[in-house]
Chains A and B, each alone.
Chain A
């Protein structure tokens, strides 16, 4: 069962963030191979054949994203989205603090593929240790000639800048992230007309890739697409995924597992299962921004295509596990508090809807609910979901509410009728 880690292989290795250790463990070989043996288009071809899909959550094929960048554009940018802030998600953080050079290596190859000479790492503001390690790693990479002019004696030059965010969840949305780098208030851009491959950072063609996506790239370049297609759930879901498993499990943590590993395996084998005497109730498969799964879904394969078949998404694979002590209305109210707090406020349905949902749920969990509130909640979710907002945050905010009402409507009704939690456990929010 236990899987030999690939992209997290350096996590836990002493001083893995130092370039000497990284080099000793075979680091930067992929950059050498990419820059000396392949053209940019060949890199895109390799990544496309490997069918690497975006690990940020949407699963968009990375090779295709890169191929959308115009080949003759005078200026392009590669931006790494390291603004990991999805509730229950902490896998990028491990990669960033343990293996910053792996990300840098992936970025060099990705930037080379889209002919970018400037890259940005947009790092979540709270990640202080990661910031220090990345700065150090960038300096080491420059000193070793992996960054800067004429990398490894080739014609290719690249500089990567670390940009630290200031703590807004919305900055993980790629157009808000670009606004933030440009020094503007981070609010998502309407698409169209803004479409990063055409009008991205500073109006130039831009590829925005997640940390984990880029960390896969060096291994694909070194070992080839056929090797990659032998892992996970190919052909459409090859490779591994780092699952962040938290909540009421025995061994919370990050676990790299092949895509297609079942929900049950991840919870009960990788994360050690539930505490003594508890029964599994629900999980957020991809952070709180994905509809909940329940005990009827334990055999579902965790990959980009199997989860939509059961009405949810792989998302960030931030799995918050809830057992039978958890009051679902209270847990969902806690999630709605997060979305109300993090809505950027740009567009009406999300700004007003997230607040309204939170207010109603607060009434319910504090004993002032009405049965009519449940259908009202569903209608508010209908009015703000379904792509009625500028970015996906509006939809995200509805997912836990709608799925909880789908699977656990009886708990909400109990709360309203009895003015208390249906569970014996400690209420999550009061």
Chain B
């Protein structure tokens, strides 16, 4: 932390860290210095000259966005020379800016309008013809550029280069002919392009989806959460006349740093898709026909009861989407476990990775904690496409000097880094499928060189000798022979890993379903433990999930072998706690996984399947096999919002609500529980998914009496130990990470920080084991 210095701005004294820009110091003193080009997340360029101030003992005017504070500095922001310069810059900017505010998307939320109002003059002395360009021009299918409105602040160019890491946008020509445009030979296909629309301080960059659709003051804004991946970026849903017109980033710094990816920003039109399911459907004589909710729910209950009576509860199963809310997922598994009496519950039809050896199957650190990692080990990640805004966090860490170690055979997913990263990334490129052997080789080297963190290993782990014996086989020579990664690079990776005070290990939670997954997972856990990188900010294991609520599905027992709280169904204590809470027995034998349910349906053992927002045809590696399996079912219930291939075989279709219509919570990949809020009202017969599940449960003989998702959440907080202390209201607009017992101040919560438990080092087993 930089030492504090005291500065006086317009007579107000404020203490800020040394090195703070004057513009930021003024903001902290409650004084607004107008800016256009300056943005706190971008490097200052001092281009627009709007932020002039006067500083005692400095000649002339200085730009507040490029001047850092010094002890005793005295700044004035409203002297006559400053005001004249501000008036002049506004006049200069408006020389060629079209006054088409009445038809401009930005009108009403435009920094140029606002600064003109506050810091400009009402009249222009300009009588020359204005500059004209053909307008608008499409930079991409999503973004249009109006060069006449552009005031050349370069925020878009700087964002793409500094934050997104490409040079798609550039400045063309020179002087008053300068224009923003595509760099020669480039396309603006960045997954982060939409952020430039929000950064633009005028209406020069507009969204093709939003353009000319609304005036900002007519919009109703609802704070919510993006559901497109596991990062959990915060969004603002802007609605007019019950129609979503745009999604904006809503900064939750520790989660998204104020950014939103294009998938998140532009994926909302499905909410208003004319094909949306609007009424319950029942298959009669081979065709789906509309029925009343009463008939639909009665039919569901009757048929499930008939199947249970004839073939037992194990003939019933359920698959829920890892995008459903926590409340829906909790009720879904409760219906199946407590009312039907089966553990045939899952959220995927793909193989489960080996069980995580730590207490929880979750990221151990936080997204913001990655900024404090000095070495980042990435094993076969594809964050730019799978967790885009997390990718920006990694870029930020690298720009701040973090060392990157990549272990993957594929080209690094368009990995883009700052122009001149302080440290060059190290890429270990094993033959496809041999990543695990590389990781094992790293474990071997650390042990062979005697460089493990002795204190941490002695105090926090056990099983070192077993590990040592099993790791002995993974000599650099063998690793080089098997993977093609030179031994020298392995040694270099170990040096980088051990030189760093903090290191984090990122990988896909779902792995690849390879026989070597167990070895890979064991090796990664061993690396973290041997180097003492667990339980501190900037350290830890980051199994990255794909979907908006994959973590919630794991936490809430949408899993054949895990109850809510990630407790194994086979353990009596966990079952007993739930039985006490629910007042019903909980089945003790593990259920069928999603993949097994497909096989059981093919074999005729599974007779009824309940799909909550999940189409296994889209997820399974062999869709035709799934089709045959679903066709054999006596009862296929599809609860969803849009038609899907599985619906063609459904006996009952129950229309639910989209993310923008419903209430509930989602758990992001960093264990952050955040609230979805309804922004539009569904005016069809479709119903809240939690309510449909409650109605089904009650018709099956359950007694679910929740008044809303908040009451479901209250029960979750009692059912899940690591939810203890959480309340629906306390989540607020920024969410909370579990466990909620820790004070959350934006720095991120690390699991296992207490240092009480010992962890078992996992032996590096070479023979493949089939694990579900």
Q: From A168, A349, A390, give the contact of B89 (CB < 8 A).
A: A349
| Cβ contact within 8 Å between A386 and B60 | yes
In this complex, the member of B44, B170, B175 whose beta carbon has the largest number of chain A beta carbons within 10 angstroms is B175
Q: Which of B31-82 contact A (CB under 8 A)?
A: 44-50, 52, 59-61, 63, 66-68
If A342-B175, A345-B152, A356-B128 touch, does A192 touch B60 (CB 8 Å cutoff)? Answer: no
Q: From B68, B92, B126, give the contact of A349 (CB < 8 A).
A: B92
**What residue in chain B is nearest A359 (Cβ atoms)?**
B128
**What residue in chain B is nearest A339 (Cβ atoms)?**
B175
A355 surroundings in chain B (CB, below 8 A): 95, 175-176
B177 surroundings in chain A (CB, below 8 A): 345
| Cβ contact within 8 Å between B92 and A360 | no
B95 surroundings in chain A (CB, below 8 A): 352, 355-356
**What residue in chain A is nearest B95 (Cβ atoms)?**
A352
B294 interface residue (CB < 8 Å to A): no
A389 to B128, CA, bound (A): 23
Q: Within the complex, what minimum Cβ distance (angstroms) separates A200 from chain B?
A: 15
| Cβ contact within 8 Å between B175 and A341 | yes
A340 interface residue (CB < 8 Å to B): yes
B447 interface residue (CB < 8 Å to A): no
If A190-B45, A192-B66, A388-B49 touch, does A349 touch B174 (CB 8 Å cutoff)? Answer: no
| Cβ contact within 8 Å between B170 and A351 | no
In this complex, the member of B63, B89, B176, B177 whose beta carbon has the largest number of chain A beta carbons within 10 angstroms is B176
B170 surroundings in chain A (CB, below 8 A): 185
Q: From B44, B60, B125, B178, give the contact of A387 (CB < 8 A).
A: B60
A352 surroundings in chain B (CB, below 8 A): 92-93, 95-96, 176
| Cβ contact within 8 Å between B96 and A347 | no
A113 to B737, CA, bound (A): 59
A344 to B60, CA, bound (A): 23
A390 to B89, CA, bound (A): 14
B151 surroundings in chain A (CB, below 8 A): 348
| Cβ contact within 8 Å between A348 and B93 | yes
| Cβ contact within 8 Å between A348 and B49 | yes
Q: Which of A341-372 contact B (CB under 8 A)?
A: 341-349, 351-356, 359-360, 363
A383 surroundings in chain B (CB, below 8 A): 84-85, 88, 91-92
If A345-B177, A348-B92, A356-B128 touch, does A192 touch B49 (CB 8 Å cutoff)? Answer: no
- What per-residue 1/0 map shows which CB atoms of A408-425 lie under 8 Å from chain B? 000000000000000000
A359 surroundings in chain B (CB, below 8 A): 128
B171 interface residue (CB < 8 Å to A): yes
Q: Within the complex, what minimum Cβ distance (angstroms) separates A394 from chain B?
A: 9
A342 to B44, CA, bound (A): 23
**What residue in chain B is nearest A356 (Cβ atoms)?**
B95
A41 to B123, CA, bound (A): 59
| Cβ contact within 8 Å between B175 and A344 | yes
Q: Which of A5-40 contact B (CB under 8 A)?
A: none
A277 interface residue (CB < 8 Å to B): no
Q: From A185, A347, A360, A376, give the contact of B49 (CB < 8 A).
A: A347
**What residue in chain B is nearest A362 (Cβ atoms)?**
B128
| Cβ contact within 8 Å between B125 and A376 | yes
**What residue in chain A is nearest B171 (Cβ atoms)?**
A185
B59 surroundings in chain A (CB, below 8 A): 387
Q: Within the complex, what minimum Cβ distance (angstroms) separates B700 from chain A?
A: 68
A348 to B177, CA, bound (A): 12
29 A-B residue contacts at CB 8 Å?
A: A185-B171, A190-B63, A190-B66, A193-B66, A341-B175, A342-B174, A343-B174, A343-B175, A343-B176, A344-B174, A344-B175, A345-B174, A345-B175, A345-B176, A345-B177, A347-B47, A348-B47, A348-B48, A349-B49, A351-B92, A351-B152, A352-B176, A355-B95, A355-B175, A363-B128, A388-B60, A388-B88, A389-B49, A390-B46
Residues of B within 8 A of A (CB): 44-50, 52, 59-61, 63, 66-68, 84-85, 88-89, 91-93, 95-96, 125-126, 128, 151-152, 170-171, 173-178
- What 6 A-B pairs come out closest when comparing CB atoms? A383-B88, A345-B178, A190-B46, A355-B176, A352-B92, A343-B175
